[in-house]
Amino acid sequence: MTVHIGAAPGDIAETVLLPGDPYRAKWAAETFLENPQLVNEVRGMLAYTGEWKGNRVTIHGSGMGMPSLSIYANELIRDYNAKTLIRIGSCGGMQDKVKIRDIILAMTASSISTPSSGIFKEFNFAPPADWTLLKNAVAAAETRKSNYHVGSIYSSDVFYDERPDLNKEMTRHGILGVEMEAAELYNLAARYGVRALAVLTVSDHLLTGEALPSEDREKSFGDMVEIALEAAFT
């Protein structure tokens, strides 16, 4: 048990999927895992551990933004021995070729600042995904015939952005999508020597203004969860 996670020793699997929304964690666990058991509900941050094809998996909410993700990922790694952490979440598309409901597999995650910025100071560290997880995720997406993209994303520390100039430059330089957590997850994975990947579903688009209605989002996220699970255990 930690300050933010009430799970007992052994309740958390070595492989953890991290949706931002705790209720998405509940949905994913009940939809994709066998015998999911609630192992954490401190501060309403739900976590479930079950099995997928005979492999133990925990699906744990991480909250919104890098500071929240950093708390849970630190404790999962340091106190519960998590070895593989895969973010499953939504993102905004930033290229014409990226469409609503497409999957983005984040090779790298750029940012202006993260909770790790105090460590790096003036150094612009560029954390990448784990290569094996990324390779496995590509293979899973190919097998499922999913519409997917591999490349760079931007992890923002604000939701209500007022930097159209920066968005224009990111689009110009090939950033596929924007979300709020992956860069810090990749930082922590590098620091602790564990594996990390972000598998994202495009739920809205910065260029077109399109957006999935909230009631359609869960139905569109199944491919993302299954790709993440295949990537972890292939």
Q: Which position has the token pair 């994202």? A: 200
Q: Helix, strand or coil for residue 136?
A: helix
- Phi first, then psi, for residue 57 (nearest 5°) are -140, 140
Give the model's pLDDT for residue 164. Answer: 86
Q: Give the side-chain half-sphere CA count within 13 A for 119.
A: 8
Instruction: Specify the pLDDT at position 16.
Output: 98
Read off the tokens for 39. Answer: 């192992």
How do the domains of the chain map onto residue ranges? 15-233
Which DSSP letter does residue 4 get? S
DSSP 222: H
Q: Catalytic residue at 161? A: no
pLDDT at 218: 65
Q: How far apart are the first and last CA of the chain?
A: 30
Q: Which of 157, 204, 216, 223 is catalytic?
A: 204
Per residue in 208-226, pLDDT (tens digit) is 999 998 777 766 799 999 9
Amino acid 219: pLDDT: 62
Q: Where are the alpha helices (DSSP H) in the chain?
A: 22-32, 66-80, 117-120, 131-144, 164-172, 182-192, 214-220, 222-233
| Separation CA 86–CA 185 (nearest Å) | 9
Residues sharing a CB contact under 8 Å with residue 129, sequence separation 6 or more, in sequence order: 105, 106, 107, 108, 186, 196, 197, 198
Q: What's domain 15-233's superfamily in CATH? A: Nucleoside phosphorylase domain (3.40.50.1580)
How many angstroms separate the CA atoms of 186 and 223, rounded?
22
What are the pLDDT tens digits along the chain (234 aa)?
A: 899 999 999 999 999 999 999 999 999 999 999 999 999 999 999 999 999 999 999 999 999 999 999 999 999 999 999 999 999 999 999 999 999 999 999 999 999 999 999 999 888 888 899 999 999 999 999 999 999 999 999 999 998 887 889 999 999 999 999 999 999 999 999 999 999 999 999 999 999 999 998 777 766 799 999 999 999 998
Binding residues for a purine D-ribonucleoside: 4, 179-181, 203-204
Tens digits of residue pLDDT in 2-14: 999 999 999 999 9
Known binding residues are 4, 20, 24, 43, 87-90, 179-181, 203-204
Other Cβ atoms less than 10 A from the Cβ of 163: the count is 12
Q: Provide the whole-model pTM.
A: 0.96
CA distance 167 to 184: 20
